[in-house]
Structure 1
Amino acid sequence: MASTLTRTLRQMPVTAMLGIAIIVAYAIVAILAPLLAPYGEAEIVGAQFEPQGGDHLLGTDNLGRDMLSRLIWGARNTVGVALVTTALAFAIGAVTGLLAATLGGWPDMILSRIVDILMAVPALIFTLLALSALGPGVWNLVMVIAVLDATRVYRLTRATAMNVIVMDYVEAARLRGEGTWWIIRREVLPNIAAPLIAEFGLRFCFVFLTISALSFLGLGLPPPMADWGGMVRDNAALITFGDTTPLLPAACIAVLTVAVNFVVDWMLHRASGLKD
């Protein structure tokens, strides 16, 4: 086990190592946010738009809240909600996709038509309409985005599982009398795990950016929760005066997205079996 890990680390490109280091750093900040943040996420500690320096290293926002503290708390809120949403989307999409591929027939047809209907509507428009109808709230946001992203996971899972389900060893398992869940768990899932893991990283990026975009539009995480997309909106007026404060949360979003893509690219390269 140790030798395998060592060999993997030696073969890992610099970009993947950098991506993993950034992801770990974000995770540490998110987990230890209450200890690292100088102030509470909603605590007003100064005047509006105080400059950077002094008691407030990155200045204050439009309500006088410490920007550094808001950025740290935003790591927990924005990344945490995106991770929960992605996990829920995968739970829904992967299970239904595996069932559709394994069972075939009417279950496959009904599930596929439902997914086609959901994918026919532009995702952002559907999300805005659903959130406007359901109202603001973290769980409403999570459920709407998870259902929409589950359609993409379903399509990938079903396509990859269909290539495995026709193999001779799967047919042999059926002839032995193995049940559907046994075939999914022991025969199908292990053979499609690599593309699904890579897709999880890509889905996380899309969900992360969607939540940030919705927060910028005012339909994301409800105030006073610290959220990077909402922080860009709240401080956007400073750009007119040449202040870089609104770019700080935007940079946090961009850096994490690039880091995750570095790791996903490496994982896809490994799964493909190609050599440099």
Structure 2
Amino acid sequence: MTGAPEHPRRRRAFVLCAVVLLGLPLICALLGPWLADPADPRSGAYAPPSSDALLGTDFVGRDVVDQVLLGGRTVVLVGGGAAVAAYIVGVPWGMCAAAARRRWVDEVLMRPLDILLSVPSLLTLLLIAGLSRPGPLVLGGVVSLIMLPEVARISRAAALAAASGPAMEAMLLTGESWWRRNFRYLGGTVLPTLATDFGMRIVGALYLVASAAFLGVGVAPDAADWAVMVDRNRPGLFLQPWAVLVPALLVTAMSVGLNLLFDQALHRRRETT
């Protein structure tokens, strides 16, 4: 009983922590380009922090603070947009396969995705991006395509039991509309699973975009990008660690903050139902 009053405070603390962790990278990514001064290099490579460069300089002598402010848009917008696009396509795809009353429909919908899923993600990234004109739209499309099979599979798995259960049979017998059966009922059934998965899927999209930047796919090798900063400044990690640690910590903070927010939202939904 003594622990019960502390529960709301603990929840608020988790939410506040998640907002701070998620908010700082988002502010840097969205507002940073207007705050940064993308000037020419003013010092030598891997210069230590000083009054001119508060976090020192990177591998070509650029101010780390300015590069951090300029470097978040690709990771945040491309990664987040790719995850949302994969869900927009993958969730209806998987739910239609689960709701199909004929096995051949399920096979036709899911087998092509299984083939795509069998190809390593980095290989798909390299092949498609290598054959296309590099750019953020191509990179986002490739990341969405890589994530699509997994999103469709988990949507199908989450909806399969409910789609063939007694509640669905009763709705069919009583003549409930297709919309009410497949969107309101099945959608409500799979929502907790998909909300949990979406938090992890955003993290996966962020790391795929970062991996693409490491490989130079869709992002210039000297671009102001958090993933490129981590990769290109690794040789000077012990000389100038801020050029690696700050962008890496921002990506990590965004990932942890997203997962905390989704976790708290799911707890709240379970308590109200």
TM range, smaller chain: 0.7 to 0.9
Report deviation, 1:59: 2.3
Report deviation, 1:13: 7.0
Tell me the equivalent position of 2:17: 18
Q: Which one of 117, 139, 142 corresponds to residue 140 of structure 2?
A: 142
Tell me the equivalent position of 1:59: 56
The one-character-per-residue Cα deviations of 1:96-136 (angstroms, maximum 9, x if unpaired) are: 01111112422211121111111111222222222222242
Query: What number of residue pairs does the alignment pair up?
Result: 265
The one-character-per-residue Cα deviations of 1:169-192 (angstroms, maximum 9, x if unpaired) are: 323333344443442221110121
Tell me the equivalent position of 1:87: 84
Matches within 5 A, 1:222-261: 222=220, 225-239=223-237, 241=239, 243-261=241-259
Matches within 5 A, 1:1-276: 9-10=8-9, 12=11, 14-35=13-34, 37-40=35-38, 43-49=39-45, 50-105=47-102, 106-222=104-220, 225-239=223-237, 241=239, 243-267=241-265
Gaps of 5+ in 2: 1-5
Relative to structure 1, the CA distance from residue 32 to residue 239 in structure 2 (aligned partners, 3 Å threshold; closer, same or farther) is closer
Task: Determine the C-alpha separation between the residues in 1 that align with 2:143 and 2:99.
Answer: 26
Task: Determine the C-alpha separation between the residues in 2 that align with 1:161 and 1:243.
Answer: 47
Could you state the TM-score of these two structures normalised by the residue count of structure 1?
A: 0.83
The one-character-per-residue Cα deviations of 1:54-88 (angstroms, maximum 9, x if unpaired) are: 12212232344322122122233311211101000
Tell me the equivalent position of 1:3: none
Report deviation, 1:220: 4.2
Task: Determine the C-alpha separation between the residues in 1 that align with 2:121 and 2:270.
Answer: 30
83-92 or 252-261, larger mean C-alpha shift: 252-261
Report deviation, 1:159: 0.7
The 8 Å contact of residues 85 and 144 in structure 2, kept in 1 or not, is answered as: yes
Task: Determine the C-alpha separation between the residues in 2 that align with 1:57 and 1:127.
Answer: 36
The one-character-per-residue Cα deviations of 1:218-242 (angstroms, maximum 9, x if unpaired) are: 1143466521111122222312646
Task: Determine the C-alpha separation between the residues in 1 that align with 2:142 and 2:213.
Answer: 14
Task: Determine the C-alpha separation between the residues in 1 that align with 2:203 and 2:79.
Answer: 8
The 8 Å contact of residues 87 and 148 in structure 2, kept in 1 or not, is answered as: yes
Task: Determine the C-alpha separation between the residues in 1 that align with 2:76 and 2:7.
Answer: 27
Relative to structure 1, the CA distance from residue 104 to residue 135 in structure 2 (aligned partners, 3 Å threshold; closer, same or farther) is farther
What is the identity, as a one-letter code, of the residue corresponding to 1:174?
L
Report deviation, 1:154: 0.8
The 8 Å contact of residues 77 and 226 in structure 1, kept in 2 or not, is answered as: no
Q: Relative contact order (alpha carbons < 8 A, sep ≥ 6): 1 or 2 greater? A: 2
**What value does the CA root-mean-square deviation take over the aligned residues?**
2.8
Relative to structure 1, the CA distance from residue 75 to residue 224 in structure 2 (aligned partners, 3 Å threshold; closer, same or farther) is same
95-104 or 215-224, larger mean C-alpha shift: 215-224
Task: Determine the C-alpha separation between the residues in 2 that align with 1:206 and 1:186.
Answer: 28
Identity of aligned residues (%): 29
Task: Determine the C-alpha separation between the residues in 1 that align with 2:27 and 2:240.
Answer: 32
Tell me the equivalent position of 1:4: none
Gaps of 5+ in 1: 1-6
